Amino acid sequence: MPVKKKATTKKVTKKAEKVKTKKKVEVKKKSSAKKKQSVKKIPKKKVAKKVAKKAVKKVVKKIVTPKAPKIKKVVVPQEFKAGENIVYPTHGVGRILTIEKFQYDLVEEQLYVIQFFQDKLTIRVPFAKAKLIGLRNITSKPSMTRTLSVLKQKPKIKKAMWSRRAQEYDQKINSGDIRLLSEVVRDLFRKDDQTEQSYSERQMFQVAFERYTREFAISSSLKLEEASTKILEILNKR
């Protein structure tokens, strides 16, 4: 009789354990279902605020770390070297002191730094504008000697009013053409025994004579005084 009672108690305990496990599973299912429902029931306003905050963070990051702008480099071949003598049409003979880089409005280009000793003037010319301005090398010695034949000719003075002639002379002086410059020197030169010139005529002759003499001196490898004396001798002999 006691053996039978032990068997029944074991069966009862097993059934009780099964019931407990079922109850635990059901409780877990209910809790998971409640969690899902709570997640689904998040109000739309909160979601919108979160999205807006993320968007603001992205915008702030873009503003704080901008990309560096690209600098455009103007590439033009270099025609003249530092230390070289050149002719600037509106200023005459000058010397290139150095080459500089200049940056403006995200553009970078190179410049000639030119000094004119007679005028105590220094200017900067971009490589890209050198041809447009008329920047050129010193006239070669053979070409320069040919312009001396122009000085030996008789002056060609027009009968027009001085204001018109002065305008033509000024254009020739600032043209950068050495032959046209020699024509101005020839036409405006006066000997001591000739009629006196007006102040404006003497001033214009002086400008043309100085520019021509400086280029002639460099081209012929002469000192400025020697070149000046030689040109005056040619003008007085005609």
Q: Where are the domains of the chain?
A: 16-64, 72-137, 141-237
Q: What's the pLDDT band for 31 if we cut at 50, 70, 90?
A: low
**pLDDT confidence bin for 49, thresholds 50/70/90:** low
- Measure the CA–CA gap between 93 and 214, rounded to whole angstroms: 7
Grade residue 83 by pLDDT with cuts at 50, 70 and 90.
very high
Amino acid at the residue 191:
K
Residue 86: per-residue pLDDT:
97
pLDDT category at 71 given cuts 50, 70, 90 is confident
Helix (H, G, I), strand (E, B), or coil: what is residue 156? coil
pTM, entire model: 0.69
Instruction: State whether residue 147 is helix, strand or coil.
Output: helix
- Tell me the DSSP string of 82-126: TT-EEEETTTEEEEEEEEEEEEETTEEEEEEEEEETTTTEEEEEE
Q: Kindly report, residue by residue over 176-205, the tens digit of the pLDDT.
A: 999 999 999 999 999 877 777 899 999 999
141-237, which class in CATH? Answer: mainly alpha
| Torsion region of 190: left, alpha or beta (phi above 0 gives left; psi -120 to 50 gives alpha) | beta
Could you name the CATH architecture of 72-137?
Answer: Beta Barrel (2.40)
Mean local confidence (pLDDT), 7-20: 54
Residue with the larger pLDDT of the pair 28 and 87: 87
Q: What percentage of residues in the chain have a pLDDT greater than 90?
A: 57
